[in-house]
Every structure is written in structure tokens, then in C-alpha cells.
Chain A
Amino acid sequence: RKEVEQDPGPFNVPEGATVAFNCTYSNSASQSFFWYRQDCRKEPKLLMSVYSSGNEDGRFTAQLNRASQYISLLIRDSKLSDSATYLCVVTSNSGGYQKVTFGIGTKLQVIP
């Protein structure tokens, strides 16, 4: 089983729609969680951290469910500019140091 699993998509949604991505992780001792965004032919950039209590940043909401070992990203009122690949990132302890593991990414295409 992969350490971090995501549905690669693509998710094709109309402008204004709400879309949600899930990501599951296998290591129950994982400690930190993030969503990164990667535009075509660009490097990944941090979108938001994911906190246990859930957190929101404008149209974006991230949630963590430790019991079921998944994190989610909800995008409301999708914009064309939201089209990108969204990477789930999980960190865990590896021999005393943190190992950062990326999911395969979920591709989102927002269509007019």
C-alpha cells in the first residue's frame, strides 16, 4: 500500500462548482499534513497546512480525520484559475528525522 494515496483524476468541474479531494495515508503516526498546488510545468507550492481542528482560507477548507487517516480539501465557487494539480503531503518520523511524502496529485480542470 502506498504511504499516501490520492485519486489522480482528472476532476472536470464547471466554474462556480464545489469540489472535494480526499487523500489517505497509511502511517498512523504521521504528524503534519499539507496541501500543495502545482501548476502545469511549474514547481509545487504550499497551498495550506492542515490542522486537526480543520482550517479555512477563503474558498479553501482543509480537514484532517486521524481516526480514518485521511485529509480533505474542499474548494468552493471554483475559478478557472484553480485549475492545477493538488498534492497531498504527509510527514512522518523516519529514524529521528521527518520524512516528507507526497501523494501522486489530483488534477483539477475548471471549465467555463
Chain B
Amino acid sequence: DVKVTQSSRYLVKRTGEKVFLECVQDMDHENMFWYRQDPGLGLRLIYFSYDVKMKEKGDIPEGYSVSREKKERFSLILESASTNQTSMYLCASSISKRGNTEAFFGQGTRLTVV
């Protein structure tokens, strides 16, 4: 079975802190994604990566950056956390660039910024 693992289920951080959310997949997938999910807004794409050291902005990249130094790991960085970044963050991976394959999700990280 494909496994996508996010480093934390729950995080509480202070405003202004630098926050790292880690995601690891074990199936050699090319594509990896970071989404945030908020009530009434659904899943919104923050960043995605189709290869090591490659990244593309999604719909809401402001306030975030990403890093993909190894194929299996995709990190989301909140440079200076703010209260409006309180959300559920979901990482996903999929096999190919073609986009016609299933995306597998991690269990999510519920981040609260106080």
C-alpha cells in the first residue's frame, strides 16, 4: 500500500514562528502536493512539485514556501506564521505528471497559530 506520512497530526505555534510541515511518501511518486482545507472553502492547492528540486505555485502560495531535496520528501514552510494560516494541511502524492492517476493523501496536520 502507498503510504504518505505527515510528521505531525496536531501543531500549535505562535504568531511569527517559522513552521515546517514534513511529508514523506514511500512509493517513488513523482508528484507531490500541499493543500490546505478550510470549512466552506474546500481543498486549496498551495504548492506542488513534479520532481526533485522543482516546485510550482498553486492557487494560494502567499506566505508559504516549499522544499523538495529528495524525491520522497516534500516540506511546506510557513516563513512567519500568522493566525490566518490556522488550518488543516494535507499532503498528497501521485505517480506521474500526466495527472490521470490517483492521488494519495497523508492523514493531515491540524495547525493552530495563536
**When each residue 75-114 of chain B gets 1 if its CB lies under 8 Å from chain A and 0 otherwise, what string results?**
0000000000000001000100111101101111000000
Q: How far is the CB of A16 from chain B (nearest CB, A)?
A: 29
Interface residues on A, range: 20 to 34
Interface residues on B, range: 20 to 34
Q: Which of B43, B48, B97 contacts A87 (CB 8 A)?
A: B43
Whether A94 contacts B43 by the Cβ 8 Å rule is no
A26 within 8 A of B: no
Interface stretch, picked from B11-19, B33-41, B64-72, is: B33-41
Whether A99 contacts B45 by the Cβ 8 Å rule is yes
Whether B41 contacts A32 by the Cβ 8 Å rule is no
Query: Please, which residues of chain A bring their CB within 8 A of the CB of B74?
Result: none
Q: How far is the CB of A37 from chain B (nearest CB, A)?
A: 11
User: Known interface pairs A87-B42, A101-B45. Does A43 touch B99 (Cβ–Cβ under 8 Å)?
Assistant: no
Whether A97 contacts B42 by the Cβ 8 Å rule is no
Whether A43 contacts B108 by the Cβ 8 Å rule is yes
